[in-house]
Every structure is written in C-alpha cells, then in structure tokens.
Structure 1
Amino acid sequence: MPDRVPIRLDEYESARLELDQLTARDVDRLHALQAQRCLTLLPDRTGWWLKADATVGVLVLDRLRITIAPKFAIPGEQLVSWLSYALGIPVPAPARRWSTGLDGYADLVAAALLEQCEQLLREGLRRDYVSRGSVEPVLRGRLDIAAQATRRYGQLDQLHVRTFDREAAIWDNRVLGSALKTASSLTTSADLARTLHSTAVAFPQASTPTAALRALNRIQYTRLNARYRPAHTWARLLLGGGGVTDLLSDRGATADGLLLRMPSLWEAVVRRLGTEAVRPYGGHAVLAGGGISITVQGDLGNVSAFRPDLLLSLPGHDTSQRMLLPVDAKYKRYDRHGVGAADVHQLLTYSVGYAPRDAPSAVIIHPRPGGYAHRSLHVGGPHGGLGVIDILGIDTHALPEEATRWLGSRLR
C-alpha cells in the first residue's frame, strides 16, 4: 500500500486539504459519501474543506488516510463493548493490540473479526458439499451428459462429471476470507496486519468484496452455522466499507475504509437498552408496524407515518391494563445544553399519541460520558399540563450491563 498522508479529525471538525491531495476519484467517492450525510466536502479557491459529520472510522483515499474519532459519546476503550451490545453479539476478549491510537476504531473491528476467525479455526471450519465440474478417466459422481455430448462428441476416453465433495470453500468461510483481506489493508499496525494476512490464508475467499457482501445478505443461520454469526457481523462492517450509513446496511457508496454513523449506533444501543431494562418488571418492546404509527393525512402527497425509536409496553397500576411509553434516542449533548424546541414538539406528539391521556409522558435517552443524569421537563399550557419529558443520560464510560440496570430503575 502506498504511503498516504494521515489526517485526523474528531466528529464535526473540519480540515483544509490542498487541491492536489485529492484525486478525481477521491472527489467522486467523497461526494458519494456526502450524499449519504457522512461528511461534507466544499471547494474553495485553492483547495478543499472537509468536514466530518456524526460519522467515525477510517477512510483510505488515493493520497490520504483520514481518521475520524468519536468526539464525546463513547471512548475508544469502551467502543467495542457498546458496538457488540448494539449488534447483539458476544464482546470479544480484550487484547493488547486493541488500541484506537491514530487509527480511530478500525483496528478494534479488525481485531474483533480476527479473534472470531481464530476461534473458528480452532474449532474447525465448517465444510459442506460443493458441486464441481471436472474431466476424469473414470466415472465419479454424476455424468454431465450435455458437456460430454458437446465437448467430447460421444468419446468415452475422458468423462465430464460433476462431483459433490465436502469442502471448506463455502460462502460461510469465503466471506470471512474476503473480510480478513480487507481488514489487513485498513490497519496501520504491522503486527495486526501480519496476523490478519496469515489468518486469511487459511480461509477461502470470494472473487470480490462486493460478491462477499451479497453472499452475507443471503446466508441463513441454522444450528450448523450459528457459531459463524458474530464473525459475519464484524465482516459485514468491514466489507460495507465507506457505504455504511446505517448500522449494518450498505447504501452503495464505494470507498476503502470503515465508517459508522454514530446516531445509528446510538439508536441501536437505546433499542436494546430499553428492551432489556424493562424486561425484569414485566415490560417489553412493541414491534414496529404501521398499525400503531402516528399518521398525517390530508396534506399534499402520500400519507406519512412516524413513530419513536422505541415503544415500550409497561404494566400499569392496574395489572390488567398496560401503558405505552415512547422513547427516543438523541445523539446530542443534552448534558451540556437544553432540549431544543423541535425535540420538545416531537416528544409531546409521541406522548399524546401513545401515552395515557391522564399522564402523557415520553423519554429522551442521550449519551453522557462520565456519569448518569436524569431531569424532567414539565410542559404546560393555559389549560394545564401538556406532558412530562424525562431526559436520561447514559454513562458511556460504563459497561452496557450496568447502564441497563440503571435505566431499568428509572423506567420502572
């Protein structure tokens, strides 16, 4: 890999680039990411201004290596714990090579993939029957009649056959080989890159990363390959590259790198936090569906519907009845400034649409490094109270399990 000039940014920070630091291909890729609201690229008379949005990770361009680090929400030493929690996969065991350093968190994800792949190698890679065509002197497997007639013209000295042998060259393993190869090109740690490369040799590979990503979308998990799910989850992040705009969805922007939108990560964290926090008290999450969404009709265009990030069903004072509590995830510094009017309006709408009429309420959950926080907004009008909005700050320096217990004590 050619030497690239390292550039380090925090979320929402800007950096000025010289005109010759970006190739035409780089500009196209950055504009594609800008369309997905991952970053902003603006020209000036003598160069470019690159502004990071709420996206973190590493982006490898032709002449630059851009690292965007989390600014406030989740520190590097806890990022993999929270990412694993949001994805619902086991947290990899910590290792010395896990260091955010100047590489953002790309090395963390690469190391997590490496650990899962090493575990699969120790257990033995899964094998399955693979169909292959070959020419043999004796019949083995099934005779390929069409190939025999069109290529050998009826001669039987060589037989075109299709065999079915148990091999490791199946898609469960191919996608991991491609992901390991991709990861080795993203890390600047020589030791980690060397280990990734040597491990990749033990796995078959797909023809292209795009083919591997398509295969990941087709893989169905059973008891035979369930142990592959954590490794595949890390592989999906790496193979998605700069196209990751939701937690695990590829929107088509192509660039070498590993980018993750922090608001999407926080929404996934809050959905699992809230669901697990109320489970011991008889609560559960209400699945998304158009039947319980708030709808807007009568405007120009189609009917629109919206709902909070999480809707919880909780037992009421009367055990025979239940109440709905809308919860919204906000990736904002509500530990440092007040709640904006737009968010107040949004949460009031949720409380009126879902919460009991005699006690309209809603919850905002935001990241707060270094401690928990709870405050309540009481919204009133000329005819009395309109609703209560609880603002809950989750300590992202803590482990997710501890945050779950604290949140449960507040939502109870």
Structure 2
Amino acid sequence: MPDRSEVRIGEYGSALLRDSQLTPRDVNRLRALQAHGRLSLEQTPTGWRLKAGATVGLLVLDRIRLVMQPKFAIPGDRLMGWLAYALGAPAPLPVTSRHWATGPEGYADLVAAALLEQCQQLLREGLRRDYVSRQNLEPVLRGRLDVAAQTTLRYGQLDKLHVRTFDRETDIWDNRVLGTALQVACALTTSPDLARDLHTVADAFPNATPPEAALRALDRTRYTRLNARYRAAHTWARLLLRGGGVTDVLTDHGTAADGLLLAMPALWEAVVRRLVTDAAGDHGGHAVAGGGAAGITVRGDLGIVSAFRPDVLLSLPDRDPTVRTLLPVDAKYKRYDHHGVSAADVHQLLTYSAGYTPSDDRRAVIVHPRTGGHSYRVLQVDSPRGRLGDVHVLGIDTHTHPQQATAWLGSVLPLTNG
C-alpha cells in the first residue's frame, strides 16, 4: 500500500486540500459521495474545500487517507457499542479499551476487529461444511458417472472417468464471503498487528470471491439452525463490503470507493427503532408496520403518490386493557438539546399524530441524541380552536450504554401514552 498523508476532519467539519492531494479519480469518487449527500466538495483557487456532513469513517483515496471523526452526539469510544446495538451484533472486545483516536484507522479499525473476532470464533468451533457438487476426472468411479462428458471427451477410453461427486467441504458461500471481507479489512488497516491477524485468519477460509458477488450472496443468505452462528460475522462482513457509502442501515448503492463510511442519521434511526421496540415490549407494546394500507398517503398532486411514514409505529395498551392505541415515534439526529424543535419537524409530527392517534389525544414522539444525561419535555401545539396535539421530545444520552438508555426510555414511555 503506498504511503498516504492523513487528513482528519470532524463530523460537519471541513478541510482545505491542495490540488496535488486529489487525483481526478479521487474527485470523481468524492463527487459521487456528494451526490448521495455524504459530504460536499467545492473547488477553490488553490485546491479543494471538503466539508463533511453527518458521515463518519474512513475513505482511502489515491494520495490521502480521509478520516471523518464523530464529534456531534455519539463519542468515538461509544460509537461501536451503539452500532453493534443497532445491528443486533456483538461488539468487538477491543472497544472497551480502545478509542477512536488510538490509530489512523479509527472506526474502520474497530469494525475490522469485530469481524476478526467473529471469524476466529468460527474457526475455533469449526467452519461449516456442506455438500458441494464437483466435476472431476478420476481413475476410479466415485459418485455419479457423467456419461455425456465421458463419451464426448474420452471417446470410449476408460483409464480416466468423468464423474460428478458431492463432498462435504468448507468451500461454501457462508465461508467464502468472510474470506472476501477479511481481505477488504486488510486493505483498510495500517495497524501491523491487526493486519497480521487478519491475513492469518483469511488464509484459513476458502478462496475469496469478488466483493460484488459476495454482497449478492449475503443479500440472498437465509439463516437456519445450520448457519445461525454466522449471522454476527456476516453482519460485520456486509458493513465492510459496502465500502464508501451507506444502504439499509449503513450503505448507499452506486458509490465505489475504498473505505468504510457510516451515515449517522441512518444509524440513529436504527438505534431508535430498537430502543423504542425493546422499551415498549416491557409494557406490553410492540412495533407495527406504518406503510401500505396503514400509511399516510398524499394523492392528487403532480407526480407519484407520496407517503408519510414514522420511523417506528408502536401499538401500546390503553387504560382500558381491551383497547390498544398507536404512538408514532420519529428519530431526529439533530441538536435538540441545544435548540428548539424546528417548525418542519413539528408539522411532520402533527401529521403523524393526526393520522394515527385519537382525535381527543393527538400525540407523537421525537427521539434525539444528546450528552450530559437524558431529557424529556413536551411541546403543546395550540390553535384558536383548541389543542392540536402534543409532541414529546426525548433526549437519549449517548454516553451511556444502550441497555441503560432502554431502561430509561421504558420508564418514560408510559408518560407519552396519555
């Protein structure tokens, strides 16, 4: 790997880059990320001004290593814990003793360590084997004779037989995708110890497949009792293979870059979905679908039909045990611990409350990240004709463990249900 200078910027921070620091290929990759809203790139008389948005992680360009550090709500030493919570995967052991700034890899280093730990555990338990079909040329009959190949390729010779065999091998997709992810992780880290361990473990897995094929295989994977123990390793592998962008929780399609980027708003939405679902479960509640026939739709305008969907729609028991009520919850990755809720978000939450809650008790919930303790306040929205609704604003302290935040949310959630 060629030596690259390191550029560090914080979340929502900016940096000035010289023309010599970016190649035309780098500019194209950064423009692609800009099109997805991950950062902005502006040309200046002497070079480029790069400004990060709510995206953190590592981007390996031709001449620089760009490290975007979290500075808003989730500190670096807690980021992996919250990410693991959102993904439902175990956090890597080094998280308890490492911080974002301990090396140039930062977040990518910790994700690589998480993958390494899970792969080492799989090796200790023994890699999964499954029947694999092979076509071989053998001196004796083993398996099933391939009559067509034998007659067309051997012309009646019987010293070698074309056979089809089914043997139990480790060369299956469950293992091959991990070999690919381990190789990608090696390219992202400059830590000698971590790189050595990744290379050692990668050698124990079957031959790697191209990242695109590995991602397609991961998207097709369905977990049963036979491969359930692979779920955590595949979670970290999927995150690494997505590279320089974010789909589902973490990656945008169409962005090709060497790196590992995390969109913090997408992470926060995933965190909130799990937080409120876990907290509601302690009170007899559960999440329900907010789309389809149950969604809020807008018709009659120019273009396609649009829809309003809260991040989470909870079904909760009412005072009357035979009745259940709906509570819309929306995740906002904003500094609502430092300034008031925007008018646009108030309008959005009032729309949710009008669509899902009783006319005599309109309410909805905003969950935002903060530091310095949890917070809870209620916005009363009134009109000349009376109360339009209440917006409950919950601030989650991201310096705490996710489980502690879940417990606090469970104590506050009944207050938001009338």
- Does structure 2 retain, via aligned residues, the 8 Å contact 1:363–1:390? yes
Secondary structure of the corresponding residue to residue 233 of structure 2: helix
- RMSD after superposition: 1.5
Matched with 1:39 is 39
Q: Structure 1's 205 and 32: CA in aligned 2 closer, same or farther, altered over 3 A?
A: farther
1:344 matched to 2:346? The reply is: yes
Q: Deviations over 1:26-51 (max 9, x none)?
A: 12211221121111112223311111
Matched with 1:86 is 86
d(CA) in 1 for partners of 2:321, 2:97? 51
d(CA) in 1 for partners of 2:364, 2:379? 10
Deviation at 1:19, TM superposition (A): 1.1
Matched with 1:28 is 28
Secondary structure of the corresponding residue to residue 282 of structure 2: helix
Letter in 2 for 1:268: A
Secondary structure of the corresponding residue to residue 133 of structure 2: strand
Secondary structure of the corresponding residue to residue 244 of structure 2: helix
d(CA) in 2 for partners of 1:326, 1:67? 36
Letter in 2 for 1:168: T
d(CA) in 2 for partners of 1:305, 1:397? 34
Matched with 1:235 is 237
Matched with 1:150 is 152
Matched with 1:353 is 355
Secondary structure of the corresponding residue to residue 233 of structure 1: helix
Secondary structure of the corresponding residue to residue 327 of structure 1: strand
Tell which deviates more after alignment, 84-93 or 207-216. Answer: 84-93
Summarize the alignment of residues 9-408 of structure 1 with structure 2, pairs less than 5 Å apart: 9-94=9-94, 98-101=98-101, 102-408=104-410
TM-score (normalised: structure 2): 0.95
Deviation at 1:263, TM superposition (A): 0.4
Deviation at 1:294, TM superposition (A): 0.8
Q: Deviations over 1:353-402 (max 9, x none)?
A: 11111111111000012310111111111111111111110011111111
Q: Structure 1's 170 and 218: CA in aligned 2 closer, same or farther, altered over 3 A?
A: same
Deviation at 1:95, TM superposition (A): 5.8
d(CA) in 1 for partners of 2:24, 2:299? 45
Letter in 2 for 1:241: G
Secondary structure of the corresponding residue to residue 79 of structure 1: helix
Deviation at 1:250, TM superposition (A): 4.8
Deviation at 1:248, TM superposition (A): 4.3
- Does structure 2 retain, via aligned residues, the 8 Å contact 1:176–1:231? yes
**Identical aligned pairs, as a percentage?**
68
- Does structure 1 retain, via aligned residues, the 8 Å contact 2:313–2:327? yes
Letter in 2 for 1:4: R
Q: Structure 1's 42 and 149: CA in aligned 2 closer, same or farther, altered over 3 A?
A: farther
Q: Structure 1's 95 and 324: CA in aligned 2 closer, same or farther, altered over 3 A?
A: closer
d(CA) in 1 for partners of 2:298, 2:96? 53
Secondary structure of the corresponding residue to residue 91 of structure 2: coil
d(CA) in 2 for partners of 1:132, 1:288? 47
Deviation at 1:193, TM superposition (A): 1.1
d(CA) in 2 for partners of 1:177, 1:97? 27
In the alignment, structure 1 segments of 5+ residues that lack a partner are none
Q: Structure 1's 95 and 77: CA in aligned 2 closer, same or farther, altered over 3 A?
A: closer
Deviation at 1:182, TM superposition (A): 0.7
Number of positions where the alignment pairs a residue of Structure 1 with one of Structure 2: 412
Q: Structure 1's 316 and 51: CA in aligned 2 closer, same or farther, altered over 3 A?
A: same
Q: Deviations over 1:9-35 (max 9, x none)?
A: 111111111112111211221122112
Secondary structure of the corresponding residue to residue 43 of structure 1: strand
Q: Structure 1's 319 and 95: CA in aligned 2 closer, same or farther, altered over 3 A?
A: closer
Letter in 2 for 1:67: V
- Does structure 2 retain, via aligned residues, the 8 Å contact 1:139–1:159? yes
